[in-house]
Amino acid sequence: MILKPGERAPGIPADTASVPFAARVRGFLVTPARRGATAQVRTQADRVASGRLRAVLPRNPADFGEPSLELLVVGKAMKRRLYPPSRPDPHPTLPQRGREFGQVEGER
C-alpha cells in the first residue's frame, strides 16, 4: 500500500477515494521470506523495494479470453458480401447477414 484512503489526492471520485492506492512490483528476494510476510526484493533496476510477499513466480494472467461468436459471424458475413457464393450454401448453419444473428445467439 502506498496511500491509505484518507491520504489520497483531493477531488477523486468517491469509489476511488474509499480504497487505498497500492502497487505491485517484481524482483529477486534479498533474503528468504514466506508468502504473506514482509519481504524485500531487488528490482530489475537494482533498487530494493519492501512489501508483503504476494506470490512466487506468478503466472502471467493475460490471455486471449473466449472466442467471440459475434466477431466470427460478422467476419463470415462480410466475406460473403465481398465474395458472393456461386452456389447455395449446402450447410446453412450460420445467418446470411450479421443482423440475423439473434437466432444463433439463442443456442449459446
Q: Which residues sit at the interface with other proteins, rule CB under 8 A?
A: 2-3, 7-9, 12-13, 15-16, 19-27, 43-47, 60-68, 70-71, 73-75, 77-79, 81-82, 97-99, 101, 105
31 or 83, CB closer to other proteins?
Answer: 83
CB 95 within 8 A of CB 74: no
Least Å distance, CB 44 to other proteins, is: 4
Those residues with Cβ within 8 angstroms of residue 42's Cβ, 6 or more apart along the chain or in another chain: 27, 28, 29, 30, 48
Least Å distance, CB 96 to other proteins, is: 11
d(CA 5, CA 37): 23
